[in-house]
Amino acid sequence: MKLLELEPKGRFVFVEDTHGDLTASIKVVEMHLNIDTKIIFLGDYVDRGSDSKGNINYLLKKKAEDPDKIHLLQGNHETYCTLELSPADFWKNLKSNEKEKYHNIFKKFPLAVSV
């Protein structure tokens, strides 16, 4: 199992199921990202919402900018290429090369966190 192990130091904010809600993701990051806080997104960044691609791209950018403070776990909506599910509007609207790109990114995400 891919486990994300974090030191039990500082404050943790856990966020679940943003499902294409870019506004919510931005608000969480703006409200909580600081020197003492780590934000752990628990997966399901895509499908159902109006801006799945914008949401995941924003979170990937924030993770790249602050890798010790932003953590992205894999939810069931990120496993579509290995286990199809519904709704899957994000995946169904991607070109095949984009599907492969996101699948390769998502499969590297941890499945669980230990603090």
Q: What angle (nearest 5°) sits at the alpha carbon of residue 104, between those of residues 69 and 108?
A: 40
The H-or-E segment that residue 37 falls in is strand 37-41
Active site residue 77: yes
Which residue is catalytic, options 19, 32, 71, 77? 77
Beta partners for 5? 114
40: tokens are 């752990």
The residues that are catalytic are: 77
